[in-house]
């Protein structure tokens, strides 16, 4: 099981937990009624799709030569020969099937919008690195993460509870979660910039260089914290204030990214950014929950 555990990239799975956690807290505050089975299925479906995406990425990057012995990132099970392409691909298909099963009750509840979101999400799990227009190889992976692991995940969960397709609170929360998730991708792409150049994987870091990669991460981080001003505007002062406790943590991570050049140290930065995302979203979730008491 250890190779499979490596292949699913467990340190990045905060990207699936965070949006559902925040959206559920937002529902609790604004609607006072949480359908826990809905949040549970949203979380399970999101996890299965992310794991499937990671597994497919493991296989496809190996086929395209993006993962070689020169890689400075964590071990990839297909490239290292620890697991066969066939087995990794089979696990990916299993994850997609499980995601579809989670989605059936949600489609029955939410109708056509949820069906469309589900089908597009399943398709994008493969298209992230596969197909004729692989998003990650065209520099569109960052946008994909903001949309699917931020806006769609938060707003979709909110819609299933409330029937509201667009709600500004959910939109702002979705942007914050999406930006934090995209920092994971941006750090990953910055770390792999030289290897990706050789594999013709045109991430934003490859297209625009190291300076851009650093400032992209800075923009995403700064925007996340600045958007907390919206919660002050809403009068939800606890929700606005609690995530700000992490400003020093964010600063130290940014400082190290600006000082260091791509190397194995970036594996640690990736873990720290995942931890920051979970802590930020937990603080925001806690703040939204505590608004009931103030």
Reported as a single tens digit per residue, the pLDDT across 90-116 is 888 999 999 999 999 999 999 999 999
State pTM to two decimals.
0.92
Mean pLDDT of 238-244: 97
Provide the angle, in degrees to the nearest 10, between the axes of the packed helices 152-162 and 112-127. 160
User: Which pLDDT score is estimated for 11?
Assistant: 75
Residue 250 Cα distances to 150, 184, 202, 258, 287, angstroms? 19, 13, 27, 12, 19
User: Which pLDDT score is estimated for 74?
Assistant: 66
Q: What is the DSSP string of 12-44?
A: GTHHHHHHHHHHHHHHHHHTS---HHHHHHHHH
Query: Can you tell me the distance from the alpha carbon of 104 to that of 289, in angstroms, rounded to the nearest whole number?
Result: 29
Query: Can you tell me the distance from the alpha carbon of 224 to that of 66, in angstroms, rounded to the nearest whole number?
Result: 30
Reported as a single tens digit per residue, the pLDDT across 184-231 is 999 999 999 988 898 888 999 999 999 999 999 999 999 999 999 999
Does the structure show a pLDDT above 70 at 294?
no
Query: Can you tell me the distance from the alpha carbon of 263 to that of 261, in angstroms, rounded to the nearest whole number?
Result: 6
- Reply yes or no on domain 2-293 having CATH 1.10.357: no
> Distance from CA of residue 213 to its chain's centroid?
18
Judge whether 25 and 242 are in contact, CB under 8 Å. no
Cβ-based burial of 292 (10 A; exposed 0-12, middle 13-18, buried ≥19)? exposed
* Domain ranges within the chain, ordered by starting residue: 2-293
Fill in the DSSP letter of residue 81. Answer: T
């Amino acid at each position: 099981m250890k190779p499979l555990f490596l292949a699913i990239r467990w340190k990045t799975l905060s990207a699936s937990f965070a949006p559902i956690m925040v959206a559920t807290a937002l529902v609790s505050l604004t609607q006072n009624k949480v359908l826990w089975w809905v949040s549970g299925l949203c979380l399970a479906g999101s996890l299965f799709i992310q794991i499937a995406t990671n597994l497919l990425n493991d296989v496809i990057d190996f086929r395209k030569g993006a993962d070689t012995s020169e890689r400075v990132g964590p071990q990839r099970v297909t490239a290292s020969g620890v697991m066969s392409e066939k087995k990794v691909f089979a696990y990916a298909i299993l994850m997609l099937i499980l995601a579809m099963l989670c989605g059936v009750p949600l489609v029955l509840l939410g109708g056509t919008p949820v069906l469309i979101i589900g089908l597009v999400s399943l398709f994008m799990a493969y298209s992230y690195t596969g197909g004729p227009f692989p998003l990650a190889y065209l520099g569109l992976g960052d946008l994909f993460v903001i949309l699917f692991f931020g806006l769609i995940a938060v707003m979709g969960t909110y819609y299933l509870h409330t029937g509201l397709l667009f709600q500004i609170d959910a939109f702002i929360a979705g942007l914050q979660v999406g930006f934090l998730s995209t920092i994971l991708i941006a750090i990953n792409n910055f770390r792999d910039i030289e290897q990706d150049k050789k594999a013709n994987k045109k991430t934003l870091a490859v297209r625009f260089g190291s300076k851009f990669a650093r400032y992209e991460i800075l923009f995403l981080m700064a925007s996340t914290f600045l958007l907390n001003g919206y919660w002050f505007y809403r009068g939800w002062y606890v929700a606005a204030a609690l995530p700000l406790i992490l400003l020093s943590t964010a600063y130290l991570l940014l400082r190290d990214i600006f000082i260091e050049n791509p190397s194995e140290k970036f594996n640690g930065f990736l873990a720290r950014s995942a931890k920051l995302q979970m802590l930020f979203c937990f603080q925001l979730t806690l703040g939204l929950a505590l608004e009931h008491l103030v």
